[in-house]
Amino acid sequence: MPGQLTINPRRAAVSLRVVVVGGGIAGIATAYTLQRAGHNVTVLERSNGSEHSRGVIRSPPNMTRILNHWGLAPALAKTAVKCPQFRFHQPDGELISIVQLHDDFVKDLMADFVFIAHDDMRSILYEAAEHAGVEIRYNASVDSVDCDTVSVTLHPPPEGGEPERLYADLVVGADGPQSIVRTEVVGEEVTGVRDGHLSLTVTIPTELMREDEDLRPLCEDGNWWVWLGPDTLFHGSLIAGRREFSIVIGMRNVPAETLAQYTETWDLQRTYPIEHFGIDFSGYDVRVRKLLPFMRKVTAAVHVRRPILESSVCERARIVIVGEAAHPLVPAGQHNTGVTIEDAETLGALFARIQHRAQIPRMLAAYEELRQPRFSGPSPSTIVFLYISPSSSSTASRSKAYASRRCAYAQDWELRKRTMLTLPHGLEQKERDSKLRRVMAYGDWAHMDEHRFKQMWGDEMEMFSYFSTEKVEDWWTKWGSLLAGSSEKDGVKTPVSPSVEVSISNGPSRMLLSVH
Ligand SMILES: Cc1cc2nc3c(=O)[nH]c(=O)nc-3n(C[C@H](O)[C@H](O)[C@H](O)COP(=O)(O)OP(=O)(O)OC[C@H]3O[C@@H](n4cnc5c(N)ncnc54)[C@H](O)[C@@H]3O)c2cc1C
Ligand SMILES: *[C@@H]1O[C@H](CO)[C@@H](O)[C@H](O)[C@H]1NC(C)=O
Ligand SMILES: *[C@@H]1O[C@H](CO)[C@@H](O)[C@H](O)[C@H]1NC(C)=O
Ligand SMILES: *[C@@H]1O[C@H](CO)[C@@H](O)[C@H](O)[C@H]1NC(C)=O
């Protein structure tokens, strides 16, 4: 696989005691990077460790690149499926467009676009974390977190007795969209609204599909198969070394009464046959219709839209939140896990440079500056591809504060993309389809000029080419010496630099443009 970098982890001069709340992908990934940086990490996960989610995660090149950087390429190669092309269809099956992930493109991004089962991703990270020395405790449900004493308290054990309390130098909240650590960091519960998005997930063994000649192509190439229905985005891809086909249905404008039946957290215990959701598939592609009988155990997750946080670090700067706890995205979106992996890499790379405990607040300030940099990307109207120019109403709803922060940007990006891909029949939908068609017309990578390239890929390129490790290195070169000079007593949270400009518009995209 491209993008295999040499692993040369830095180790911190002081070993901190770190407690991570939540053992999902964010928690385990962060535990891994912090342990590898020389710290002593315990993960507390409330579930019993026997749940297995077969839903699909898309690992865009920038995420795959970090995983490769962590030395996980061999493990990924066993189960992840490399994606050679995106195929967009009308609901009735008419092909709108094919987007080739040409080898040159992937080479310049230094990693592949891959599909992987949620549970496989978690297992791979789990093994890496355990191997690095992280302690992972299941059946450990955190009841409260205390910013003043930097401690977490577990729920009392079922057999009675005192609840266990753990003290730490640093607490990381990776407890998902309904985070209790976030409540402590923000000082109040962050409530949100159900905004009509419902995501359904179901996975089918390919051995059931191979028998059918219409379904067989879906089992073969690792393509991303997408059907753009009105209010319904239907897409699927292979996972688990091509042994499973995982489908996601993104529904929009779902009435509140319907949404009320489902939860935000991925409740794997409650599954439904596809008919339960009352989607009219009668005019759909024969391939979609033929998949329906296999869709017996569908999981549902509701999107709750919360305000963007001012800060992800507590007042005393010993507690930080990462992953969906810090920035919940539309369930099953394109970048959810990528953002999480990026958080972990950034935190690990910073804490590998810490020299004494008094620097924790400054490291966390640096983390915030890096994770919420000014976004210097293209204006929304030039954004094409998956994320074709949004309608004026959605442009207006982007506040300036949103647009200026990277994580916030990703949050907004997901929602707008989902909306764009579920447009009802009409003018906007036609316009979208013709743009997608243009992608196919110019799809020959080798002969693309810069203007067209930017039109098609500008936005995605920036997304894909952001690399956290480099961001931390740049930051360190600029500000590290200031930090090293800070004294032991200097424990208050002060911004390290007045502002850090991180440009993500350069890098591999330049190289790519010179490919003719
Ligand atoms: C069971 C499950 C299945 C999922 N399946 C998919 C999928 O198929 N496709 C997809 O795109 N995304 C899926 N997701 C979401 C995906 O994991 C996230 O979008 C992304 O990876 C970032 O996750 P996270 O670790 O920040 O949050 P989450 O994945 O929500 O993980 C948070 C973890 O914290 C634990 N936790 C919460 N509160 C406490 C507490 N008080 N004490 C201790 N532990 C606590 C939870 O049990 C959970 O394991 C799933 C999430 C879960 C939990
Ligand atoms: C683990 O939890 C799941 C659901 O929460 C439950 O169905 C299962 O029985 C539990 N397993 C054990 C070993 O307790
Ligand atoms: C969690 O608790 C259940 C029931 O108490 C037990 O069966 C299971 O083995 C525990 N899981 C782990 C990983 O310790
Ligand atoms: C990949 O790019 C997207 C879009 O900007 C971003 O949200 C995500 O954090 C990036 N992921 C990684 C792992 O760099």
pLDDT tens for each residue of the chain, 516 residues long: 443 344 456 899 999 999 999 999 999 999 999 999 999 999 999 999 998 898 999 998 889 999 999 999 999 999 999 999 888 899 999 998 887 777 776 776 778 889 999 999 999 999 999 999 999 999 999 999 999 999 999 999 888 899 999 999 999 999 999 999 999 999 989 989 998 999 999 999 999 999 999 999 999 999 999 999 999 999 999 999 999 999 999 999 999 999 999 999 999 999 999 999 999 999 999 999 999 999 999 999 999 988 888 788 888 889 999 999 998 887 877 778 988 999 999 999 999 999 999 999 999 999 988 887 532 232 222 222 222 222 222 322 222 222 234 566 667 767 777 787 888 888 888 887 877 776 555 554 444 444 544 554 445 555 555 666 677 777 767 666 655 554 444 433 333 332 222 222 222 322 222 111
Identify the nearest ligand to the CA of 43 by its number: 1
Gap from CA of 374 to ligand 4 centroid (Å): 14
Q: Which residue has the tokens 């090293």?
A: 484
pLDDT of residue 85: 87
Ligand 3, atom 14, residue with closest C-alpha: 138
Residue 137 to residue 27: CA distance in whole angstroms:
12
Mutate to test the pocket of ligand 1, among 57, 154, 330 (most ligand atoms within 8 A of CB): 57
Question: What sections of 47-169 are H helices per DSSP?
Answer: 61-69, 73-79, 103-109, 118-132
CA of 245 to the centre of ligand 1 (A): 21
Whole-structure pTM value: 0.83
Which residue has tokens 């003719």? 516
Q: Tell me whether residue 95 is exposed, middle or buried, using C-beta atoms within 10 angstroms of its C-beta: 0 to 12, 13 to 18, 19 or more.
A: exposed
Contact criterion met (CB below 8 Å) for 313 and 320: yes
* Residue 48 CA, ligand 2 centroid: distance in Å: 6
Residues with Cβ within 8 Å of residue 271, at least 6 apart in sequence: 296, 297, 298, 299
User: What does the pLDDT read at residue 407?
Assistant: 62
Distance 155 CA to ligand 4 centre (A): 35
Among protein residues, the one with the nearest Cα to ligand 3's atom 3 is 48
**What local confidence, expressed as pLDDT, does residue 488 receive?**
41
* Amino acid 509: pLDDT: 27
CA distance 166 to 107: 45
Q: What is the pLDDT of residue 152?
A: 98
Tokens read off for 454:
């930017």
Which ligand minimizes its atom distance to the CA of 343? 4
Neighbouring-strand partners of residue 234? 227, 249
Which of 116, 324, 334, 339 for mutating ligand 4's site (highest number of atoms within 8 Å of CB)? 339
Look-up: residue for tokens 């130098």? 169
Q: Ligand 1 mean position to 511 CA, how many Å?
A: 36
Residue ranges around ligand 4 (CB below 6 Å): 60, 62-63, 66, 335, 338-339, 341-342, 410, 463-464, 466, 468
Closest residue by CA, ligand 3 atom 1: 48
Ligand 1, pocket residues at CB < 6 Å: 21-27, 44-47, 51, 53, 55, 57, 118, 141-142, 174-177, 180, 201, 266, 268, 323-325, 332, 336-337, 340
Tokens of 14: 């002081």
pLDDT at residue 463, rounded to an integer: 53
Pocket of ligand 3 (CB under 6 A): 48-49, 138-139
